[in-house]
């Protein structure tokens, strides 16, 4: 598939728009606080705990310490972990793929304890609990 000069110019303009909102100029791992610190061209520092990011949660400090910033400043890469994060997504609070984020949100919801959830569980228990699943023949 050939790319025209016009398409290339449009893609470069889109990238410049994204970069203008903030791109990484450096990144480091803070061992003391178990956080990644990303310095942006705007002077803002973005800091997040490694447990929140896909691919970083169970990594050793030595593996987390080596971070590469992409030439455009829009990506972070951990070569020892083969993990990548997109800086504009981090600024929006997205710390992984859609599937991974949905799994994290579902796990968090499953751990929550509210009065409504407790009442529903008790009501279900009085009815005999969760219905048994039968294998279809």
Q: Which domains does the chain have, with CATH numbers?
A: 5-95 (3.30.2020.40), 97-128 (no CATH)
Task: List the helix and strand counts (H, then E) for the chain.
Answer: 5, 6
pTM for this one?
0.65
Helix (H) or strand (E) holding 91: helix 87-91
Task: Evaluate whether 64 touches 30 at the Cβ level (below 8 Å).
Answer: no
117-to-2, 94, 102, 122 alpha-carbon distances in Å: 56, 28, 20, 9
Q: What is the pLDDT along the chain (137 residues), one digit of tens a residue?
A: 788 999 989 988 888 887 777 889 999 999 999 999 999 998 999 999 998 888 898 899 999 999 999 998 999 999 999 999 999 888 888 777 677 667 776 666 666 677 887 788 788 888 887 777 787 76
């Amino acid at each position: 598939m050939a790319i025209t000069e016009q398409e290339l110019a449009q893609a470069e303009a889109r990238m410049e728009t994204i970069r203008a909102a903030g791109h990484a100029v450096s990144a480091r791992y803070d061992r003391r606080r178990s956080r990644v610190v990303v310095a942006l061209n705007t002077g803002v520092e973005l800091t997040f705990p490694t447990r929140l990011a896909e691919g970083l949660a169970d990594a050793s400090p030595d593996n987390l310490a080596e971070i590469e910033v992409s030439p455009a400043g829009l990506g972070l890469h951990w070569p020892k972990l083969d993990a990548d994060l997109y800086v504009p997504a981090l600024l929006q609070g997205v710390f992984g793929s859609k599937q991974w984020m949905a799994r994290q949100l579902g796990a968090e919801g499953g751990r929550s304890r509210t009065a409504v959830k407790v009442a529903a569980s008790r009501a279900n228990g009085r009815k005999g609990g969760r219905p048994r699943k039968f294998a279809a023949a």
